[in-house]
Structure 1
Amino acid sequence: MVASLTSRQRFLALHLLAREEFETVAALSAGFRVSPRTIRYDLKLLEGWFGEWGLELERRPRRGVILRGGRSERERAEIHLDTPEPRIVPLTKEERIRSITLFLLVQSDGLTVDQLARELDISRGTVLRDLDVVQKQLVVHGVVVERIPGRGLYTRSSEFHWRQAAAVLLTDMRQDGEYRSLPLQSGSDPFSGWPTEAMMREFEETLSRWGSPLVQALSGSALQVLAVYLALMVVRLKAGKWIEKAKKEPDDVKPLPEYAEALRLSHHLEERFCIDVPESETVHLTLRLLGAQRFQVLRTEIGENDPSVGRVVDGIIRVVSDMLQMPLERDKELQEGLSVHLKPALIRLRFGFFIKNPLLKEVRSRYPRIYAASQKAAFWVERVTGHSVPPSEIGYIAMHIGAAVWRFTATKPTVRRVLLVCASGVGTAKLLESHLRRELSGVVWTGVSTAAKAKEEAERHQVDFVISTLPLDDSFPDLPVHFISPVPTWEEIQILREKLLFVRRPERVPPISRLMALIDEHAHIRNRKGLEKRLTEWMGNHFSMPSPEVSSFSTGRMDCDPMLDQLLKSEHLCLQQSCSDWKEAVNTGARPLLERGMIERSYVEQIVRNMIEHGAYMVIAPGIALLHARPEDGVNAVCMSLLTLDEGVSFGHEANDPVDVVITFATLDNNMHLTALSQLMELLSDEQRLERLREAKTSPEAQRVIQPFLP
């Protein structure tokens, strides 16, 4: 019976044996740092155990508990409890979740919550809470946990999905140094029948020496995952478990170099471990190689059902550029990086392979807008390919996009003063101006003019760029003039955006011809060409850079960049609200900003339209929605609100629903909200703080949670 006691129950029994006075449940709860409910559960179990030794656990209302019995019985029970010494078991939440996952995968005949509680030395309530997390994690890999009343916990999955879940678990535990290092209360070895550490090290060494450019091109993490998978493949085949050929597997893999390598690896396994590798396993190993991360791509994509990688890359960049208002299409490094990543990624999406992203949490918290833009692009990929894109893959896309954004901001593009010249009527001109203002937010618009008054207006407003819907004569010899159609296409807008942001022109600098004319009035010029050249060089050195206060893509913090506490004031917090659906949540979250005139109703309506048109891309993490639209959609001031729901609602996101934390923010440009948003996302990535924020019922409670994340 003693082997079934947990470490805590042993120490509680020893404590009661040493006491000769009543002790309340509350005092025991405080001393052992567990809930009163856990103490009552332990006492009920110990009551039977003490009875086996001739001792009685007496309970009295308002006085507590006391152990009754003779000295000899006490001594025998104490000696029995002292040996063997209790083991140390995993106590952190992450260790508990990994341990529960491990037990579920290895126990084919099922196990009970009580068994898990004893093995891990935790309460039933903690086991049940952790089980909810484990179930969500395993279902991502296609493993379903079933709770059968009276029988216990069972897992249901195909061999393919079982191996995928096991490979992710073992890879994580090896990287953290936990593999085969989980001493449990019963002394059992849950890894019995699993690959040994020596076996996996052998595979890593074999792969590192494998004479194949294809294998050598794999990333370091991909080689580690492949070693774990090969080791699992061996032990499962020895146990008579193999992967059947799936209906969606391609029939055209045999001509590929990946199939040749998979065949070589299969022959190696057969000779080294005396096993038979079925053809279906070799094909599956081929797909693993096709979907592995690598530093360079040595093949073209396979299968006629997938769109070309180039089309997907172009589509992702287009969606992200449109949302971030940056012309990333001209970034060749982004195109190449996404192509290298997406060729194997499309294979993973097609065949359901999971890849872990260790930086996903950091990417979400530090770059929420970039992640949201990448998620919007991922929804487009899902519609095109028909395959779901998991958060880990979205995180990798966001990392490529983030690098491109930093390259773009490092160029310090100039915000230009632009005049629009339009030959059509007032209605058409205003429609075009409104469209351009929306698409080109980093531009100072001086107004709309007719062709006849264009030169006069350009001089009066000191413009340095002209956009015209009709060809102009030589009225602007010193200004760039760009022709555009009255109803411009997306491609025209992109070309115009590039010219505005990358063609370097001095800001508000008089043209050379005007300076020369002025000099002519007061002096005799002996070398006109030489003076023009010298003036051009001098002006280029002194007037080429934009002033920091007008650059809408500055990377540093500006004076008008408010902190989190300046935006999330008490009147902007809506806590423990009830909403029937996502539309009501959008409106409830925006209400404090609307009531104070910080945003217009059109801003909220645009958020709803974006959700309907593009999907739930603003739901950036489990339970968290980051709602926003563009500055042109009705923003009067930089602002932010926070809404928490007493019960989450569905936004239509497969992985992150239900949502119970809704952040609504609005900004006048691309920078003025970044500090506050970064601080908020850092808070939301802290699980304990996030839970406290979800439970907060008053504004002071919520602000106390927020305060530690301010500098």
Structure 2
Amino acid sequence: MFDQRAFRLFEQIIRYEKMTSGALVRKMGLSERQFQYDFEKMNQALRHVGKSEIGMRNQCFIIDPGLKTAYLEGSELFIRQEELFLGEQDRVYLLYLYTFMRQEEISNFHYQRVLHVSRNTALSDVKKVRGFCAEADVRLVYSRLSGYHLVGAERDKRVLAGRCVNALLVLPLGEVALKFVLESWGLRAWLDETERILLDWQKVNRVELVQDRQREWLYLVAFLRCRGKHAGLVFSDVERELIGQQSVYRLTESLVVQLFGTRDVMERFYVTVQVIGAQRTAEVGEHVVLLDLADRIIAAFEKLTLLTLDNKRELRRSLYDHLVPAYFRIVFSLPLIAPMTEQIKTAHPELFAFVRQALSPLAKLTGKTVSAAEIGYFTIHFGGYFERKHEARRDFEALLVCPNGISTSLMMKSQLRQLFPELRFVMADGANIPESGYDMIFSTVYVPTRKPVYLVQPLLTSLEKNYLIQAVAADFPTIDHRHISVDALLEIIERHAVIEDEQKLYDAIFNKIYGKVSIERGYAPMLSELLTKDMIQFTDEELDWKEAIRLAATPLVTANRVKTDYVDAMIETVEEMGTYIHIGKGIAIPHARPEKGVNQIGMSFLRTRTPVHLVDASGPAIDIFICLAAVDNEAHLKALSQLTKFLTNDVALEKLKQAETVDEITNLLTEGEEQE
């Protein structure tokens, strides 16, 4: 019997067939005992459905090519309903959807039958479903006349149904489970018909949806069609006006007729919102307010991170494409499940925090909190623009296939460029892959082709990067000589030493070997490591603002962290842009672009006991200058984040301004870091 863990192991082995079992154990965070248990359970499940087992020799997996091809091409022959094992939370989602689309009165026996569980387990699950429903003012009630049924506003019921669909689709067996719900009512064929209607409508009207959102919507619409209820769906006058102004609204009447056999205007409003929330691109002239919002978010991000982003016009356009569906998802409470959110927060905590702050105009415009999932997608969107420029020859061409939207495409492209500066990357549509003109494909989805295909995640861990480097090096030995296996090195170390933190050691080895081309998880210094004693100064002199910046930057020049040209550039930037370096409370952070003369990341601190007016006598009075020298777009963010937290703490800031010695300053900074 397949459970989520055994099926996830199966998926990972198929996806990373060249990865050793030891590396896969590290990647999945399993113990050796857990791996052996799941491996046997996986093969047992494969035997039950008449499939070839996966073998293993010398830590290498042996996979029947037919098994791999059948799975990647979408074969549904792997699991029978009675072979599916579901966890507690999975059963909650399935019971809700089963009840949501009920075709007859439901009793506890129905729940037992569809879940293959005991009476007591089914009753326990009903209690959990009731708790889930309460989150959206929906109730699961039972009566002898009507059986189990849902009570509440129609839109709230649909929001919960969307959450169930989205939550299940990110699980290894989620899609299989959703199909089983449809099959349990004898309505599995409706899914195929719904998919045909949606794809035909998109093709005729040239509407392109993000693949993940399209898949979520497909299942939700299939459940809605099977349910067949439209009464009680209500939108306010303000909402109707907003939706009716959208160009997509003109196209959705025919879709509603095909899907539901009705011209119900409320259903049309609902479908329009769903389409916009899943769109890949948006028309520029249609949402002037959101285009202006994109500008404000970019400006806020630059101010918070002290960065000047390149290709701002391109960033503005792509951010707008992302903002439009995000705005409608937030306003109309469309659920968004982003399985990468925690990984993004772990890999880029400072960037995530700055993006959260930069999105405050979006929260203000919608009047709602921007969820962590939405922030995560905006984070990888900005992260996708953090690229290093490479001068290496690019003799090979690689296609990038990522149907899940511009944000994930940008992040994937950025990481791959850093890993493989020798390659020229070209974005490609997964539905129209050319037969020639390229050497390899990097894709988030299976692509049938004779060329080498490397399946990748949008956000790569160091272990996945190492695997990818080894895989590409095996197929293209002339690309790069840096194909040292971190796994092989780790196995040698394990034989001769006790490893306390294997993941940290793995990351450290990887960054040491591939650090020049991989900065995603590279080392970022803390504030106290940059503002050391030799970087801190006090002065009693009366200075003008240019003299203050030059004096503040002196330790950086002396330590050869910056050239004198960089100091000139900081002053020129203030002359061009005004007092933008003033962040409030008498604090200024002079900085310029890295290419203006930064040799090494650094910060320096100057306290002027006589306040200095920026630009002219009417400018803000500054008594703390903190010069920043950043080498790239991300290495300084940790220190900057710590500095921001410190300076927004009024008590800590007052102590900083009252400090009389260098030791007092360094002690305050260290104390602030220890309290995080």
What TM-score do you get using the length of structure 1 for normalisation? 0.44
Which structure has the larger Rg over C-alpha atoms?
1
